[in-house]
Structure 1
């Protein structure tokens, strides 16, 4: 099966890539040319249906971050690595006698040049370098190269930006483009293809859903048809107040991304509980959906993935909670405290969400949305096993006992 990839790049990059098509028979490329990397922002909405997007560099990739994240397909970019720098310097060494100290280079990571020169034992001379990032000023980069040549400090400019190359050429200054090795380009496209195939396989996984009503009220067939058609699902009635949906992971994920959930709730005259499970088989997906249903409240939706991640509640306050763990340290913590991986995951997220390492039982209670008694039981298990400690107390009111102040004593960035 051929993978269709949209390629965004400069004219010269695209022309070079066309000569490599014959070496990539399983990839069909659609080309989109820009004059400057920031032009990629306007190109994204014009891209025709494809399996993935490949950018000729990191700048257009970064510029289009907001637009890319709204797309249902993966994207990748050609990294300017040390191989590109070494290839470019080697080419200059063969074609001219210009010393390294007479070169000026603009690039994403200047330290890469230092690494290459150190690797070949050339540490006595370094080129003039300027770092470029998404906020770079085109005129500033052009002036950097131009001034060095006009002052006699540099003899040749090496640029990663097509627009800089054009400006320097128009001013009769010596300039070459950074060479992207053929192997790096092919590797980047193959990686993009793999990302596309993985995304397709994930999207094709089975998704089983449950819709439950309150007070034994029925959902009309018209409402069920509208919900199921939005995710290309079939539906059956499982019990009096419970309905089952059969779809794919990709269609359900699109529904959450596009916030169809609010629309589903609006279609029903009574509150709904919605749960989905993903899995490689119908049995696995159904089991995950049933488990997800136990977390739902009125007009909320949860998902349990095939890797046992609990996502939700949708449409608001979406969190990711790990219901199982393969991390030895966390498994040890769960065993010693008898807390579930889900609760440990929530506590870790709670810690990462705070600007202070100290907290009260009330802070944790609000975050976990459980009772004070449950929160205190959790904290007692952590304190008893030295995974949390009391560091002080606070009295923010005139009567009653002061609140204990806690601090976690285990890694939360795993």
Structure 2
């Protein structure tokens, strides 16, 4: 059952309640009413974590929040008025008021932002209604009402068509004829069903299996491996007693397999930026471990990705964690300033490039990711060694291969001290390589 928190003006609750019986087997609506615009942010912050999604009754609340947050941590939506609904209402209003001149109507729901709901292509300039220039601030209600009132007092309008439910009472008290316009029952149902479907898919993705493969660093040469694996098992159980996010912890021949969900893994890794399991184990145990996390639409895919991620972690000098997502994005080392994002998918062109340069596909992907991360294609051997976890000799060998094949050129030499060799700065451009 999807849970939607509906942040809405009191006046709009009745409208939205019309669709409640039609979705009650799929979705539970909880109404969170506000009277003042200044209440919106506090209501959102206080409630959003308790729902699968937040729905605003209109664009007003949504746009107010967008000024405060760069992104919404909880999926957030608003009910829109489709042009079909808009024109049906205009036809109905026109049909009920045969002598109505739209040039003497003020509409606060049309603006340049929504292309005036297409009215510019329907009405002549002299027939066009008044529209308001409104800013999304806490004073919007008062300013909208005052602009309507000013036009009314000047004798310029006979009717207000408004989308702002909280000014309807003010318009009535001022004796200004008005019509409150809201999405039709049919379009509300369609929009909410779309939201339910989107959230159901999101929940399925969040509950995808995630597997971690934990290995002891350097275990291939250990005589006391059995003892250390017992200690590792105990530490994993203790971690889970505190966090309660690992559904399965099982020992394999040379590793431990831990099972959780994608949503819990995102929590454990702070959205794939650090790894609390790795940090706990390396602080608790007298030896170090590596962790590879894998996410997949099947447990087999997650397991294979976790093994690949663990192998990637083992290739680094320091103990670390990597994750491979369901779309095969490799992220790691988590929590390190050398962390890179690159794809695990093999592209035919990349395969040819690898063969031409005699450099592994993985190293090429890492170099591409490094260029993207640093926002420059000018690198030194020291940059490459540090960021990719290589020795200086390995980094120089790769750069020499790139230079030989035309993928890198020495752009200049940097002398950091008065004595010693100047550092070579390589400008890398894989597009310069001729691939047969």
The TM-score normalised by the length of structure 2 is 0.74
Measured in 1, the distance between the counterparts of 2:211 and 2:325 equals 11
The alpha carbon displacement at 1:290 in A equals 0.7
Can you list the C-alpha shifts for 1:196-254, whole angstroms capped at 9, x where unaligned?
A: 211222133222211223355443544211334531321122245x3211222232223
Question: Structure 1 residue 11 and structure 2 residue 23: aligned?
Answer: no
Measured in 2, the distance between the counterparts of 1:94 and 1:121 equals 16
Question: Structure 1 residue 235 and structure 2 residue 249: aligned?
Answer: yes
Q: Contact 1:228/1:235 (CA < 8 Å) preserved in 2? A: no
Q: Contact 1:110/1:131 (CA < 8 Å) preserved in 2? A: no
Q: Contact 2:18/2:185 (CA < 8 Å) preserved in 1? A: no
Measured in 1, the distance between the counterparts of 2:127 and 2:252 equals 75
Give secondary structure in 2 for the equivalent of 1:192.
helix
Q: Contact 1:68/1:75 (CA < 8 Å) preserved in 2? A: no
Matches within 5 A, 1:4-403: 4-25=3-24, 26-44=26-44, 45-46=46-47, 49-62=50-63, 63=65, 66=69, 69-71=72-74, 74-96=75-97, 97-107=99-109, 110-114=112-116, 116-120=118-122, 122=124, 125-132=127-134, 134-135=136-137, 137-138=139-140, 139-214=142-217, 216=225, 217-218=228-229, 219-229=231-241, 230-239=244-253, 242-257=255-270, 260-261=276-277, 262-263=279-280, 265-296=282-313, 298=318, 300-316=320-336, 320-324=341-345, 332=349, 335-336=352-353, 338=355, 350=370, 353=373, 359-361=378-380, 365=384, 370=390, 374=395, 377=398, 381=402, 393=412, 395=414, 397=416, 400=421, 403=424
- Structure 1 residues 360 and 124: alpha-carbon distance in aligned structure 2, compared to 1, 3 A threshold: farther
| Worse overlay, 141-150 or 199-208 | 141-150
Measured in 2, the distance between the counterparts of 1:178 and 1:193 equals 24
Q: Contact 1:157/1:176 (CA < 8 Å) preserved in 2? A: yes
Measured in 2, the distance between the counterparts of 1:163 and 1:256 equals 43
Q: Contact 1:324/1:342 (CA < 8 Å) preserved in 2? A: no
- Structure 1 residues 115 and 34: alpha-carbon distance in aligned structure 2, compared to 1, 3 A threshold: closer
- Pairwise CA RMSD of aligned residues? 4.0
The alpha carbon displacement at 1:408 in A equals 5.4
Measured in 1, the distance between the counterparts of 2:148 and 2:409 equals 59
| Worse overlay, 263-272 or 278-287 | 263-272
Q: Contact 2:292/2:323 (CA < 8 Å) preserved in 1? A: yes
- Which consecutive residues of structure 2, in runs of 5 or more, have no partner in the other structure? 219-224, 432-436
Give secondary structure in 2 for the equivalent of 1:314.
coil
Give secondary structure in 1 for the equivalent of 2:269.
helix
Measured in 2, the distance between the counterparts of 1:292 and 1:314 equals 11
How many equivalent pairs are there? 399
| Worse overlay, 76-85 or 338-347 | 338-347
> Which entry has the higher C-alpha Rg, 1 or 2?
2
Q: Contact 2:106/2:159 (CA < 8 Å) preserved in 1? A: yes
Measured in 2, the distance between the counterparts of 1:149 and 1:382 equals 76
